[in-house]
A and B are shown apart, each in its own frame.
Chain A
Amino acid sequence: MYTKPFSYHRPKSLEDAVALFGKSSDPRYLAGGQTLIPTMKQRLAAPSDLIDLGGLSALAFIRKSADMLMIGAGTRHAAVATSADVKSAIPALAYLAEGIGDPAVRHRGTIGGSLANNDPAADYPAAVLGLGATVKTTKRSIAADEFFTGMFETALQDGEIVTEIAFPIPEKAGYAKFPNPASRYAMVGVFVAKVKTGVRVAVTGAGPCVFRVPQMEAALAKDFSDGAIANIKVAADDLNSDLHGSREYRAHLVTVMARRAVAGA
């Protein structure tokens, strides 16, 4: 488990981080390192420069207003899971964070890192899309619906840093995860939320990228109960299929998990 050699930087400000990024030949930002470091050890990534965002206290915060919850991109999963503000404003989000990986992962990994990485089986994308949150960066604000563009792909541009995620506080929200038995990432995770703009249902793990289920959203807008979506099935065609679950099984689980998320909301 040996990485290729690289230079390590620990900038003091976001500006310095962005500047360093611009100067390096093949740089990567480092947050919790829970995805990037294993990838480097397996030599699937070999950046020339690692720019560690870990020292930037400006990225680690949780703030609540009357109708919004703001979480800094550098906030660790464990902090989200245990925050009183998160628990009172969006308990489903605290619950989601508590179910990520194991204690070691939760004490290193960050929400910004998870979103920037956009692993198709990661948990946070379901919450961000399900709540219709806004991803703020060093350059702009990106709506959740625009942020996740494909498998391990986001709207982020080269060198752009996620700084904050702004979540609207929902009337109700629930998350249900069916973990992959081996990795414990989401094989299917469904986040359901009733927000001002309506009901949103976001599914992670099942497909190549987190996605919404408009049919369920419409049904739940009329009747926010698990029975309302019992007969709504997502099409299996575009879903993931692997050792742990075929696309048909995942499609079935989407309905089961959506019902559980609604029941738990």
Chain B
Amino acid sequence: MTASLIGRPVKRKEDRRFITGTGHYTDDLSRPHQTHAVFVRSPHAHAKIRKIDAAPALALPGVIQVLTGEDLKADNVQGLICGWMIHSKDGSPMKAGGHPALALGKVRYVGDHVAVVIAETPAAAKDGAEAVVVDYEELPSVTSTGDAQSSSVQIHDEAPRNTVYQWALGDEKATGAAFANAAQVVELNLVNNRLIPNAMEPRAALGEYDSGSGIYTLTTTSQNPHVARLVLSAFVQIAPEHKLRVIAPDVGGGFGSKIFIYPEETVCVWAAKRVGRPVKWTAERGESFLADAHGRDHVTHGALALDKDGRVLGLRVKTTANLGAYLSTFSSAVPTYLYATLLSGQYNIPAIYAEVDAVYTNTAPVDAYRGAGRPEATYVVERLMEEAARKLKLDPAEIRRRNFIREFPHQTPVILAYDIGDYDASLKEAVKRADVSGFAQRKADAAKRDKKRGLGFSTYIEACGLAPSAAVGSLGAGVGLWESAEVRVNPTGSVEVLTGSHSHGQGHETTFAQLVADRLGISIDQVEIVHGDTDKVQFGMGTYGSRSAAVGLSAISLATDKVIAKAKHIAAYVMEVPEDDVEFKDGEFAAVKTNKKMTFGEVALAAYVGHKFPTDQIEPGLKETSFYDPKNFTFPAGCHICEVEIDPDTGVVEIVKFTAVDDFGTVINPMIVEGQVHGGIAQGIGQALLEHGVYDKESGQLLTGSYMDYCMPRADDLPSFEVGMTITACPSNPIGVKGCGEAGAIAAPAAVMNAITDALGVKEFDMPATPEKVWRALSGQRA
């Protein structure tokens, strides 16, 4: 009996190539006769384009073509789309302004795409881009979320008051009644700061056109190549779907920012035909700051109604969400269905009412970024909970316990139906690991050293693996959110697994292989995970929203079941026993009550030679497919506890301890899961303490356009994390997994800020908690 591979910290199969430099990222690829693209970008936040003069660029050596929005128009290339329709409270559809890949008459943010210069070398293209003369008529701009609706600046004609939609969810009346009956009301103004994603690999694209076959190929940094192909063909109309191949090879991180269909990639594949040669573009880091979709950027007022014992009666939330200058691919869904639906947290809240206004501003588009809506929701709920505990003089763990949901399934007032969870278990485990009982002593000790200590909780919930497709469709999604898998057994018994999920750091090549190897009883080396190529993989919705294990691996699991069923059938024929007598265990098909048995490899060969079974009843070959649509979302949840120590002299916040106890359901590879938790927490702490995308109010320039000013978290900003798990297996998918990719980024900001406000003794305090802000808060107290 071989030990199960499930639950084992198998080393990542893909890491050898990544750390020895033998991976293949888009920028590693070069084609004969390839040309290079550099984009001319707007230096202004908002301006009319009077004229684009390409002649000086075309006069330079090596410059081949300069293309603009007019050229796209001439080729009938359509604008980029937002794939999720949101309707306002009054029933009107969201007000989407045009989103041309290259500007038509107007630019709307610094970094907006004006033209592309195609040249023989990157340096020549760069020279060309500097030489294009653009005559702008500058317009006033608005960049701040809070100012967008009152500003006289009009960004899109279609959207008066720069308002994309005014959406609401929940029961306004019932919530009003809850507040009327409340013994206590707790209110907070909260800002969820703008973040810039910063994947290690910048975006890149290599467009090719084969004039013989008429087939376009786009190799690009995508988290979802099939969705990119669908959008580029059906909506942008670059080419029919069967004439467009999209390949996402090794991709170095995405965090959401590589889900979207961007102008640069679109232009490269289109221009390949125009130029008649391959066109390659790789973003410089500065371009990533300017033109990758940013994350978060909410301004919120939240109010919690409670009875005298601290039981929540109602929650009211009013949020303004900044969507930037254009609606990016899934932007509209993030502050609505990915946000307000999570406002019930882990709590039994009878009434919730949320209003969300989405606004245009002269900033980079804002879309899903690790957590996407759920960190924003958790931040609102958990800051309010902590504040309620302080106001009612309750222990922060106790107020949470009093409100926990304990019966499942649980229907919240905001659409979601939680299938399973044990919030007491993760809270209890986290409280123990964080040594909460010793905190008072540690705080006293710190005070003796003139330091201020604080403790903060965050008991978060998230919804992952959005599903089923019919449900997301009814909420406005333009796509279904199932996943596909194909398990292809070779005659020698090795296996290729084709998945529509895409790995860009998550370790699918290991986790997925672990499950398949375990099921088939073969070595993990015999399993190859194939992903990221529309020519190889049947179809796929890609990787985001912690969906790959819950949805993608579930599809693989089901396809594997089908393979085993067929193999059993064939084995029965070969061994000449009734099928019911065949047992499959540890990679062997054994005929009970006999000593006949066949290995998985022997059955695979038998399937392909087709000698020993009736091929009119059983088709030869061994390959099965599954298109899996889950019954429900999954609901990872847990408890994070942060302890900080503040130096009042400088305002520096040190995270002295960070404890995370999560319930991700079944864990396939605990090492990979822990890695995901660590990365998520680092990003969450980054948001709370360090990261902030800032635009200048006057000029609309991005002030944090490089690592000199945009502060990424580094190892020495972080403590060694205390990570634990409690498990309730997910009943909504065949493997019991929930998803772990975003938890840290969702839970951590509230835990950190609750700890800081505890240490400072202040109620409202916005992220990032920079030293100067903390110092000022303390100086105010001293004065």
CA–CA, A246 to B775, complex, Å? 12
Asked if B709 and A5 sit within 8 Å, CB to CB, the answer is: no
Asked if A246 and B123 sit within 8 Å, CB to CB, the answer is: no
**Binary interface profile of B, 707-718, with partner A (CB < 8 Å = 1, else 0)?**
111111000000
| Residues of chain A lying within 8 A (CB to CB) of residue B711 | 181-182
Asked if B123 and A181 sit within 8 Å, CB to CB, the answer is: no
Chain A contact residues (Cβ within 8 angstroms of B): what range? 20 to 34
Asked whether any CB of chain B lies closer than 8 Å to the CB of A249, the reply is: yes
CA–CA, A180 to B704, complex, Å? 13
With CB as the reference atom, state the residue of chain A lying closest to B694. A243
A181-B690, A244-B770 as given contacts; A256 in contact with B284, CB under 8 Å: no
Q: How distant is A226 from chain B, measured CB to nearest CB, in Å?
A: 11
Asked if B122 and A183 sit within 8 Å, CB to CB, the answer is: no
Asked if A2 and B710 sit within 8 Å, CB to CB, the answer is: no
Chain B contact residues (Cβ within 8 angstroms of A): what range? 20 to 34
Asked if B775 and A249 sit within 8 Å, CB to CB, the answer is: yes
Asked if B650 and A182 sit within 8 Å, CB to CB, the answer is: no
**Binary interface profile of A, 1-32, with partner B (CB < 8 Å = 1, else 0)?**
11111000000000000000000000000000
CA–CA, A1 to B775, complex, Å? 38
Q: How distant is B299 from chain A, measured CB to nearest CB, in Å?
A: 19
- Chain A, interface SS category: loop
A178-B650, A253-B650 as given contacts; A1 in contact with B284, CB under 8 Å: yes
Asked whether any CB of chain B lies closer than 8 Å to the CB of A245, the reply is: yes
Asked whether any CB of chain A lies closer than 8 Å to the CB of B53, the reply is: no
CA–CA, A252 to B779, complex, Å? 11
A1-B284, A2-B122, A249-B775 as given contacts; A182 in contact with B703, CB under 8 Å: no
Which residues of B (708-765) have their CB < 8 Å from a CB of A? 708-712
**Binary interface profile of A, 223-265, with partner B (CB < 8 Å = 1, else 0)?**
0000000000000000000011110010011001000000000
| Residues of chain B lying within 8 A (CB to CB) of residue A1 | 284-285
Asked if B772 and A182 sit within 8 Å, CB to CB, the answer is: no
| Residues of chain B lying within 8 A (CB to CB) of residue A182 | 690, 704, 707-712
Partner of B123 from A5, A180, A185, A244 at Cβ < 8 Å: A5
Asked if B708 and A245 sit within 8 Å, CB to CB, the answer is: no
A1-B284, A243-B703 as given contacts; A181 in contact with B126, CB under 8 Å: no
| Residues of chain A lying within 8 A (CB to CB) of residue B284 | 1
Asked whether any CB of chain A lies closer than 8 Å to the CB of B771, the reply is: yes
| Residues of chain A lying within 8 A (CB to CB) of residue B126 | 2, 43
**Binary interface profile of B, 764-781, with partner A (CB < 8 Å = 1, else 0)?**
000000111001100000
A-B contact count (CB 8 A): 48
Q: How distant is B258 from chain A, measured CB to nearest CB, in Å?
A: 20
Asked whether any CB of chain A lies closer than 8 Å to the CB of B649, the reply is: yes
| Residues of chain A lying within 8 A (CB to CB) of residue B286 | 42
| Residues of chain A lying within 8 A (CB to CB) of residue B704 | 182, 243
With CB as the reference atom, state the residue of chain B lying closest to A182. B711
CA–CA, A1 to B709, complex, Å? 19
| Residues of chain B lying within 8 A (CB to CB) of residue A185 | 708
With CB as the reference atom, state the residue of chain A lying closest to B127. A4
Asked if A252 and B775 sit within 8 Å, CB to CB, the answer is: yes
CA–CA, A42 to B770, complex, Å? 28
CA–CA, A96 to B21, complex, Å? 34
| Residues of chain B lying within 8 A (CB to CB) of residue A4 | 123, 127
Asked if A246 and B649 sit within 8 Å, CB to CB, the answer is: no
| Residues of chain A lying within 8 A (CB to CB) of residue B127 | 4
| Residues of chain A lying within 8 A (CB to CB) of residue B772 | 244-246, 249
With CB as the reference atom, state the residue of chain B lying closest to A242. B709
CA–CA, A256 to B650, complex, Å? 8
Asked if B770 and A181 sit within 8 Å, CB to CB, the answer is: yes
With CB as the reference atom, state the residue of chain B lying closest to A260. B649
CA–CA, A20 to B122, complex, Å? 30
**Binary interface profile of B, 690-702, with partner A (CB < 8 Å = 1, else 0)?**
1000100000000
Q: How distant is A86 from chain B, measured CB to nearest CB, in Å?
A: 24
| 18 pairs from A and B in contact (CB 8 Å cutoff) | A2-B122, A2-B123, A2-B126, A5-B123, A42-B286, A43-B126, A180-B708, A181-B690, A181-B771, A182-B707, A243-B694, A243-B709, A244-B770, A245-B772, A249-B776, A252-B775, A253-B650, A256-B649
- Interface on B for A, CB 8 Å cutoff? 122-123, 126-127, 130, 284-286, 649-650, 690, 694, 703-704, 707-712, 770-772, 775-776
Q: Which 10 A-B pairs have the closest CB atoms?
A: A182-B711, A2-B123, A183-B708, A249-B772, A181-B711, A256-B649, A2-B126, A2-B122, A245-B772, A182-B709
- Interface on A for B, CB 8 Å cutoff? 1-5, 42-43, 178, 180-183, 185, 243-246, 249, 252-253, 256
